[in-house]
Homo-oligomer: A and B are copies of this chain.
Amino acid sequence: MEETPRSGRGGGARAARRRAVAAALRLFTEHGYEATTMDDIAAAAGVSRRTLFRHFGSKEDVLFAEHDELFANVARHLAASAHDDPVTAVCAAARMVFQDYVAAPEITVPRYHLVRAVPRLRDREIAMTARYQAAFTGHLAADHTEGPRALAAEALAAAVIAAHNHVLRSWLRDPEHRVPWNRLDEAMAFVTRTLGPVFRDPGGPLEAGGPGAARNGLTGPAARPAPAGPDGSEAVLVAVYPARMDGQDVLRRVSEALGHPAG
């Protein structure tokens, strides 16, 4: 109606897409996810049912399409930054996700509440997180499916995602607050600081690193005459914490637990 004069029907495919998402979000919130049909969304968006399916593929995808293309962006970003430092690239990927969420609160906030309410959507969200974790792990250790590198990659990916999700959820619950970029920065910086070196060289940097490194329990194969397994893997430790815990607090505590000074 007021957008690009691409299509005579309603003003551009992009605009129609956004209208559909907005309409779906509104209808889902007002009448419930199950009670809203694709015909309802199509009518509200001013497009045909068939076009809706062409664009989004499924009813769930009306909600997660943007998230999916975000994942595709992240994946492309990771693939494109193969020359960069993998740890930095993964943290940047997490930042991309965070950026996308906070940039469109009118979409992400109601979707967050919908996902919390509808089991089907919650499962989808869980699967999504698993996909991110797999992508991060793969980018960190694409050539090592076993061994200490894969182990550190797994831990690092889990930590990055856990930290990101925690900060993100705290904002989603209270989107009126200022976007907690600082907390995300601290979370990413912490992960990079603590698990990054372990990932880059599982065999020793922490041993030769700062004071208290030996207290981490993160030791290398050369530092210990441990009976090496068939793959020579080493254990890597990562913090697990409840979703409601304050992010900065988590970071400080884990940092202390790893032997860093409290300040």
Residues of A at the B interface (CB closer than 8 Å) are 122-124, 126-127, 130, 145-146, 150-151, 154-155, 158, 214-219, 224, 226-227, 229-231, 233-242, 244-246, 248-250, 252-254, 256-259, 262
Q: How far is the CA of A216 from the CA of B122 in the complex (A)?
A: 35
Within 8 Å by CB of A130, from B126, B219, B230, B241, lies B126
CB of B237 within 8 A of CB of A249, answer no
Within 8 Å by CB of A256, from B214, B235, B250, lies B235
CB of B242 within 8 A of CB of A233, answer yes
Residue of B nearest to A146 (CB): B244
The 4 closest A-B pairs by CB, nearest first: A229-B249, A217-B257, A123-B127, A235-B253
Q: Decide yes or no: A237 and B235 within 8 Å by CB, A226-B256, A257-B218 being known contacts.
A: no
Q: How far is the CA of A25 from the CA of B247 in the complex (A)?
A: 45
Q: Decide yes or no: A229 and B253 within 8 Å by CB, A126-B126, A214-B215, A215-B215 being known contacts.
A: yes
CB of B237 within 8 A of CB of A241, answer no
- Give the residues in chain B near A244, CB-CB below 8 Å: 145-146, 231
**Given A150-B242, A237-B240, 14 extra CB contacts under 8 A:** A123-B127, A151-B240, A151-B242, A151-B245, A158-B240, A217-B217, A226-B252, A227-B252, A231-B244, A233-B245, A233-B249, A235-B256, A237-B254, A238-B239
Q: Decide yes or no: A235 and B241 within 8 Å by CB, A215-B215, A216-B217 being known contacts.
A: yes
Residue of B nearest to A157 (CB): B240
CB of B240 within 8 A of CB of A253, answer no
CB of B253 within 8 A of CB of A237, answer no
Residue of B nearest to A225 (CB): B262
Within 8 Å by CB of A127, from B126, B219, B253, lies B126
Q: How far is the CA of A172 from the CA of B194 in the complex (A)?
A: 35
Q: List 9 A-B contacts (CB under 8 A).
A: A123-B126, A126-B127, A127-B127, A154-B240, A217-B259, A218-B257, A226-B253, A229-B252, A235-B250
Q: Decide yes or no: A237 and B234 within 8 Å by CB, A215-B214, A229-B245, A259-B217 being known contacts.
A: no
